Amino acid sequence: MRRRTFAEADSNRRDFLKAAATITALPMLGSRVQGVVRRRVAFADDPFSLGVTSGDPTPDGFVIQARLATRPTEGGGMPSGNVEVRYEIATDEAMKTVVKRGRTVATPQLGHSVHVEVRGLKPNRWYWYRFTAGDGRSRIGRTRTTPWNLALPQELNFAFVSCQHYETGLFTGFEHMAKEKLDLVVHLGDYIYEYAGIDGRVRKHTGPEITTLDHYRDRFGQYQSDPHLQAAHAHCPWLVTWDDHEFDNDYATFHSEEPGVDAVKFMKRRASAYQAYYEHMPLRRTSLPKGAFMQLYRRVRFGRLADFAILDTRQYRTPQANGNGLKPLAGEALDPKATILGGKQEAWLKRKWLESKAEWNVMAQQVLMARVDRLPGPPEGYPMDKWAGYEVCRQRVMQSLAEMRVPNPVVLTGDIHSNWVCDLPLDYSRHDKTVVGTEFVCTSISSGGNGKQKLDYTDGMIAENPWVKLHNAERGYVRCRVTPKQWTSDFQVVEDVTKPGAPLVTRCSYVVESGQPGAVKA
């Protein structure tokens, strides 16, 4: 199907802005609770069937989240009214030493989800938490606070992950991740997929392609019913951001990948997708959707060791250049007005760098930042959905890193269902002498099904793009150990995602030394 051009998309922008204004005018989510709050509820099934999760830690707290759903793929199965939810925070796994407890309300307007922003705790500590609603009690989750912002911890262990298509593979990677020694998990998007179910796969989506709020809730319910995903969520705090499949493949701001989409229907669908995402993620109230808009980019610090910028490269981008696909760096790809971040987010990112005192400055985002020609020989073919399709914007970001002398920039990327290690040079014609940062790309948990260590085109692609150090197409995640002097990324792979119980293999490791941008194989 023909993708609309940059100019065509821009000419229709006014229609989408009008539609967005209509959606934003709907009643505000999260407003004061109205009506009776039920405290004594006898549930026929487990109301905490989706587990628990936590995220966005600070030196004195974190967010804990749960969504009540007795029938998670059948509209939730909850009573229509408000339900009181109690929570406890303890310093021990047995929950004997409770240091904080409280009450909140799960409302039907937010799918009976709760997001508790816990404060007043000690820095750099592990805590355990649980919820109670009526006669139901959740599993116990483990979470932590971060060190004081000016402290310099000697170690941070975290994993980053993306792309977990329910149908094309099992979540075995999460089973192994829940056994790792981790302080954080960073999820870079494609947490769900919007497509209708297809027979003959490892598992099958319930229902049609999702377009309504109820559809999106049920799809999240199906994914979060997976026990391995639940175990990983309960294991440690998560930092989350989305990519495109949480809403619609390859969308860009107000623009569908398909031409001729009705503006009002598109923005209503976007509002539904954003709300369902919020309901199922450990996010603060600052990320509560306002119609079809949602503030997701934010900053999370782990003392002075690592400063994370959690980015959003979908909500604010201009349409993909040159009709999308693999194209030369020409035409709309070189338009100075094209942006993948949006002006406000880009300015925020640069202000954050000016303020940062961290040893390692991390950009957790969605799509490949390194410029990579994916076609052998002439003509060149750069993926227009990635940063290469927004070349002037990409170059501005690289230039800012160099001019500000941002210490140790590291980019974490998902999206493309393969593992990569890339140097990030300022000038690709002198790539070995102008490296300003390092990009680590994680493969998918399950999307694409079983992969391979090496694809037919891998060697040729690396020869044409010598700043690419690794390309591996197996499934899994990346485990990182960060110290003040060194960053180590271990590529953890699962060789078979079609059968349960597959072992975990550390396929390779790459190291970045502080003050020496670019990765080397360990």
Identity of the amino acid at 192: I
Cα–Cα distance, 447 to 462 (Å, whole number): 23
- Total residue count of the chain as it appears in this document: 522
**HEC per residue, 268-313:** HHHHHHHHHHHHHCCCCHHHCCECCECCCCEEEEECCCEEEEECCC
Q: Which tokens in the block code for residue 413?
A: 């990327």
Indicate whether 182 pLDDT > 70.
yes
Q: Quick: pLDDT tens for 56-80.
A: 999 999 999 999 999 999 999 998 8
Cα–Cα distance, 175 to 185 (Å, whole number): 13
Q: Quick: pLDDT tens for 341-358.
A: 999 999 999 999 999 999
Cα–Cα distance, 168 to 483 (Å, whole number): 36
Measured between alpha carbons, how far is residue 29 from residues 26, 100, 192, 311, 364 in Å?
Answer: 9, 27, 23, 23, 27
For residues 246-273, one letter each, b for 16 or more C-beta atoms within 10 angstroms of the residue's C-beta and e for the rest, the string is bbbebbbbbbbbeeebebeebbbbbbbb
End-to-end C-alpha distance for the chain, whole angstroms: 45
Q: For 428-434, what is the mean pLDDT?
A: 95
Identity of the amino acid at 256: S
Q: What is the rounded average pLDDT for all residues in the chain?
A: 95
Q: What are the structural domains of the chain?
A: 37-144 (2.60.40.380)
Q: Quick: pLDDT tens for 23-44.
A: 654 455 766 777 888 899 999 9
- Of all residues in the chain, the percent with pLDDT exceeding 90 is 89
Confidence of residue 22 (pLDDT cuts 50, 70, 90): low
Confidence of residue 1 (pLDDT cuts 50, 70, 90): very low
Please answer whether residues 56 and 282 qualify as being in contact, where contact means their C-beta atoms are separated by less than 8 angstroms. yes
What is the structure's pLDDT at 7? Answer: 54
- Of all residues in the chain, the percent with pLDDT exceeding 70 is 94
- 3 state SS of 348: helix
More confident residue, 151 or 376: 151
Confidence of residue 15 (pLDDT cuts 50, 70, 90): low
CA angle 458, 453, 448 (to 5 degrees): 90
What is the structure's pLDDT at 25? Answer: 47
Confidence of residue 2 (pLDDT cuts 50, 70, 90): very low
Phi, psi (degrees; rounded to nearest 5) at 238: -115, 145
Looking up tokens 């549930």 gives 43
Q: For 485-505, what is the mean pLDDT?
A: 98
Cα–Cα distance, 106 to 145 (Å, whole number): 25
Name, in order, each residue with C-beta under 8 angstroms of 521's C-beta and a sequence gap of 6 or more. Answer: 469, 470, 508, 509, 510, 511
Q: For 224-245, what is the mean pLDDT?
A: 99
DSSP at 323: G
Confidence of residue 510 (pLDDT cuts 50, 70, 90): very high
Indicate whether 176 pLDDT > 90.
yes
What residues pair up with 84 in beta bridges, in sequence order?
A: 105
What is the structure's pLDDT at 429? Answer: 94
Q: For 248-269, what is the mean pLDDT?
A: 92
More confident residue, 259 or 140: 140
What is the structure's pLDDT at 258? Answer: 85
Confidence of residue 363 (pLDDT cuts 50, 70, 90): very high
Q: Which tokens in the block code for residue 112?
A: 């009976």
Least confident of 216-220, 363-367, 377-381, 395-399: 377-381
The burial class, CB within 10 Å (0-12 / 13-18 / 19+), for 318 is buried
Q: For 257-279, what is the mean pLDDT?
A: 94
What is the structure's pLDDT at 375? Answer: 93
Q: Quick: pLDDT tens for 445-471.
A: 999 999 999 999 999 999 999 999 999
HSE-up (13 A, CA, CB side) for residue 482: 27
Cα–Cα distance, 235 to 181 (Å, whole number): 9
Please answer whether residues 457 and 486 qualify as being in contact, where contact means their C-beta atoms are separated by less than 8 angstroms. no
What is the structure's pLDDT at 10? Answer: 55
